[in-house]
Structure 1
């Protein structure tokens, strides 16, 4: 693929069984001072699905879908669980990889969704190992938009009605983090709104749509982006709803729990017809997008002042 001799799919990671759940969550929140009772609460979400995060199989599926369309080896590594990125990079060095494109499974600006992947790349880079180049944001790429439009169209067809309201969802983040996303701030929300509008246009729809938030995990005294998807469903005036997880590229636990479990329960309580669009996953246009990103000129890294890390609460 031109300047690259491999691709590294770099992702968040997730537990592969019940015994993995707490060690995985401890990796996720290390240094953040998150109370143990909150970890136990989140652990129950995972345990209700057998302690297995769906993101793992979806990453395996993405790697397998990419291999036939790329002429370079494809590797997979995670931030928080096996296969860890540092182990994958050691294997890449042993295989003689010199320069690899890094495809982060997060499409938008922001600390957790972009800057932290740059930090991961610095952390897992090793002497004699490959040079790792993170690909650019891709939430407005035609391949991502086409994949999400197709999945949304399929959800509308399952619902069987054209008058459904599209409610796009993304991971909520602290307002302070949203305000510093991108060189001039606000880029996380801005990119998500543009992406949602492009999907709406691709569907040929002209009516209103909403962008709401999910998966808040911070202390109640810290402002996060609102409204929450469940709160929004309770207030919405619409005959039916299709939830479109525009902020995710695969079915994280946040998608299958917060949308497929909690939001669906709220809709059932309200008698509100609801369907959820699939994430981009292994849609052919999304897979082809990765190849197109690798063929672009090497991206210029974001400035170090962009999307600064949030201030951590002191641990008790």
Structure 2
């Protein structure tokens, strides 16, 4: 029996989910905003974003590609283990995927969140989803053992993939314009209150903003070294939501593009550093809205691809599966290669990713499993 299959029966990509047709959009958005009191009138306004894409979110196809690539990489290593997908907000839901696995006797499940970074919505909330699904299945007399890999924004596979993609884009833009472009790294904005709770109180690990700054700094430094010249860059945000009186991380990428134009910048390369694959926040907020803003401002704008199925990134995910299996077995652990420090534990202590009181509702087992 292989090292991984000795510890786990399946690997589950835990993701956000997205609609597959226009009829899915409103119910999907109701799920995504559940408990926030957002009226249907507002949801219908936002749903026009999906209308441009016939109600189809690219996240579903991209996650399937990652699932297949990871399963193939594990198989190449002699690890025959099923990789599945479970979503928070649309089919296949986390509960349904776990129920199917349990009904087939696959009860030891290792989870990989499709958010590389640590904050409430990208980590702790998924842990709540898993806890809720497990409780529902226990009520159906179906027991599961759930585990997860650590946050992976620090891995060489993630950092190296974005380094390669940015270098290609910068070289392409320079060939067209004759000078280096400005690099606008972009990630999903979150409420400032969530940001303030995204790292441990003792500062032993970075908060959400600092996590991104570490990655951006490393990627920019590597590309600058390859070019032999220094890149100018900064970090902006996209996809702000919620009431206008609630403060979120800024600047928004559209506002930043206007500032760059005023500063005399003519060429901008946009790097979706906060995302591992294309979904609505990428294809609408960056490829549509930000691109239109850039065109109106007279800026040359190029968006770097997300890491997706980049071989190095997929290898890093497979390494994390192997790493976690080794930790669970209690023997020697072959850790995935990191480009940045510090390495996060698989199960972050209470507070590391807590953005609301709901995070306190996790079962005790989720709070006590710490490295």
**Structure 1 residue 179 corresponds to structure 2 residue 193:** no
Task: Please give the TM-score of this superposition, normalised by the length of structure 2.
Answer: 0.80
Separation (CA, whole Å) in 2 of partners of 1:117 and 1:266: 33
Partner of 2:309: 282
Point out the structure with max Rg over C-alpha.
2
C-alpha distance after superposition, 1:214-256 (max 9, x if no partner): 1101211111111000000001132311100111111110111
Separation (CA, whole Å) in 1 of partners of 2:198 and 2:253: 22
Q: 1:197 aligns with which of 217, 230, 234?
A: 217
Q: 2:232 aligns with which of 208, 219, 231?
A: 208
Partner of 2:88: 79
**Structure 1 residue 101 corresponds to structure 2 residue 110:** yes
CA contact (8 A) 1:151 1:277 kept: yes
| Residues 91-170 of structure 1: pairs in structure 2 closer than 5 A | 91-125=100-134, 126-127=137-138, 128-161=142-175, 163-170=180-187
Indicate how the Cα distance of structure 1 residues 100 and 311 shifts in structure 2: closer, same or farther if over 3 A, else same.
closer
Q: 2:250 aligns with which of 218, 223, 226?
A: 226
Displacement of 1:207 after TM fit?
Answer: 3.0
CA contact (8 A) 1:11 1:104 kept: yes
Q: 1:89 aligns with which of 91, 94, 98?
A: 98
**Structure 1 residue 188 corresponds to structure 2 residue 188:** no
Q: Which of 89-98 and 219-228 deviates more? A: 89-98
C-alpha distance after superposition, 1:29-75 (max 9, x if no partner): 01111233321122000111100000000011111111111121111
After superposition, the CA RMSD in angstroms is 1.7
Runs of 5+ consecutive residues of structure 2 not aligned to the other structure = 329-344, 359-371
Displacement of 1:172 after TM fit?
Answer: 0.7
Displacement of 1:183 after TM fit?
Answer: 1.3
Paired residues, what number?
Answer: 312
Separation (CA, whole Å) in 1 of partners of 2:346 and 2:306: 28
Partner of 2:31: 27
Displacement of 1:300 after TM fit?
Answer: 4.4
Separation (CA, whole Å) in 2 of partners of 1:57 and 1:132: 25
C-alpha distance after superposition, 1:72-92 (max 9, x if no partner): 111111010011111111111
CA contact (8 A) 1:97 1:129 kept: no
Displacement of 1:311 after TM fit?
Answer: 6.9
Separation (CA, whole Å) in 2 of partners of 1:240 and 1:311: 43
Superposition misfits of 4+ residues, deviation over 4 angstroms: none
Separation (CA, whole Å) in 2 of partners of 1:33 and 1:309: 18
Separation (CA, whole Å) in 2 of partners of 1:311 and 1:216: 21
Separation (CA, whole Å) in 1 of partners of 2:110 and 2:357: 30
Task: Please give the TM-score of this superposition, normalised by the length of structure 1.
Answer: 0.94
Separation (CA, whole Å) in 1 of partners of 2:250 and 2:282: 17
Displacement of 1:305 after TM fit?
Answer: 3.1
